[in-house]
Amino acid sequence: MNKLEQQALDYHAAGQRGKIAIQVTKPVASQADLSLAYSPGVAVPCVEINKNPAKAYEYTAKGNLVGVITNGTAVLGLGDIGALAGKPVMEGKAVLFKKFAGIDAFDIEIDETDPDKLIDIIAALHPTFGGINLEDIKAPECFQIERTLRERLSIPVFHDDQHGTAIVVGTGFLNALHLTGRDISLVKVVCSGAGAAAIACLDMLVDLGVRRENVYVCDSRGVLTTERELTAEKRAWAQATDAKTLSDVIGMADVFLGLSGPGLLKQDDVKKMAARPIVFALANPEPELRPELIREVAPDAIIATGRSDYPNQINNALCFPYLFRAALDTGATTINQEMKRACVVALAEMARSDDQFGKQYIVPTLLDKRLLTGVTPQIAVAAQASGVARRQIDAAQYRAQLEALAQTLL
């Protein structure tokens, strides 16, 4: 066991085990307090909620509570390790919600791999939460699970592995195009990987202006072509081409997007790309090709990874706390494409406004103190403009509220 591994175990085991706990938010110092917190006083809000379910957002923690839910079938970098073994990751997600956006979260690990049963279990839990963050559920089941829950429930359901990754990739992508002077409608994109995150990223790039006919996607068997038998999600990206491998399609590509596995991009592949290539090698913990090896053959490349020890880390924590903060505060029934796009644009503008902006800084850092107040309001505006908000907010007052919240989180 190396030093970091031992430190991680010590960190999780020290003091109170794990990383999260319950905090009581009302006084319970007297018999009078207890009579309000529980019997008999607690019956009064119960009656009010029974008459008007929306009152749950006024009298309970529902409006600031997110369920972080997994079945452990695709835990980050570890694969199908099961629900229990995935619990440290879900606790970690709860920590990030609280640290970055003041949102409380319960981690829920469900020992169920049948997608229909999992859908029913999660749907039955919905009265507890103001929103649901699905996490580390494998493809293709994750598509069905999220889609069905979004249809059934009137609270936001968000599969972060898909959409969180897509938002931050979209941010870095826009800024890389800005730095290299490229026209988004003309860029050629080659993607290694066709799982949940990859497909969500490609959907986002097309939403931002990439032409679908300029996108080539490879899975473990090679290029997605119209001659192959493919799932519906993959078939949407199939090209009518005789190309078989990544190397066959990467010639003069402007962008490589890797959401696959280590070593799948070669230096010879990078040499075939267009000048000033944009290389997002996001396999974690080991990227498709290490940045230093990319720079050996393309010194002017703009490179992003999923790792914290290289510049331009594509990290979902840049977006999901602020998406849920805005969704909860506006009472949004869903997190829609307009809200996700607003998040992309806000993050991109934030990075460009920084003196560090350049090929080594195309996305903000996780600890940028401007994120809560700079990104969340734009998402909230998008929720209102797109018609999914159940509560209208005053922009100036909301920003002031977020600034006050930010002071408590520092």
- CATH code of residue 260: 3.40.50.720
| Residue 7 located in a structural domain | no
216 is catalytic: no
Whether 243 has a pLDDT exceeding 80, the answer reads: yes
**Interval 309-316 mean pLDDT:** 96
Q: Maximum CA pair distance of the chain?
A: 77
Q: Is 244 a catalytic residue?
A: no
Mean predicted confidence (pLDDT) in 71-78: 91
Q: One of 62, 93, 98, 340 is an active-site residue; which one?
A: 93
Please report whether residue 367 resides in a domain: yes
Q: Annotation-wise, does 104 bind a ligand?
A: no
Q: For residue 75, give the amino acid letter.
A: V
- What is the reported pLDDT for 371? 97
Burial class (CB in 10 A: 0-12, 13-18, 19+), 316: buried
For residue 285, the model assigns a pLDDT of 87
**Token digits for 313?**
């880390």
316 Cβ contact partners less than 8 Å away, ≥ 6 residues apart: 160, 161, 164, 165, 167, 168
> Are residue 190 and residue 247 in the same domain, yes or no?
yes
Co-location of 40 and 146 in the same domain: yes
- Mean pLDDT, rounded, for 115-142: 96
Considering the domain boundaries, does residue 224 fall inside one?
Answer: yes
Beta strand 104-109 with 65-70 is: parallel
Q: Say yes or no to pLDDT of 168 above 80.
A: yes
13 domain-assigned: no
Q: Tell me how many degrees the CA angle 85-90-96 measures, rounded to the nearest 5.
A: 145
Task: Give the pLDDT band of residue 354 (cuts 50, 70, 90).
Answer: very high
State yes or no: pLDDT of 410 exceeds 80.
Answer: no
**Is 136 annotated as belonging to a binding site?**
yes
Residue 77 pLDDT: 78
Q: Is 161 annotated as a binding residue?
A: yes
Task: Indicate whether 139 pLDDT > 90.
Answer: no
315 is annotated as contributing to ligand binding: yes
Could you tell me where the beta strands, DSSP code E, fall in 220-298?
A: 222-223, 255-258, 278-281
Domain boundaries, position 108: 18-162
Is 167 contained in some domain?
no
Same domain for 261 and 131:
no
Verify that 62 and 128 share a domain, yes or no. yes
Q: Which of 3, 19, 26, 38 is catalytic?
A: 38
Domain final residue pick, 305, 331, 358: 305
Same domain, 154 and 200: no
Q: Are residues 249 and 365 in the same domain?
A: no
Number of structural domains in the chain? 3
- Whether 135 has a binding-site annotation, put simply, is yes
Q: Convert the pLDDT of each residue in 149-162 to its tens digit.
A: 999 999 999 999 89
* 6 within domain boundaries: no
pTM score, whole prediction: 0.94
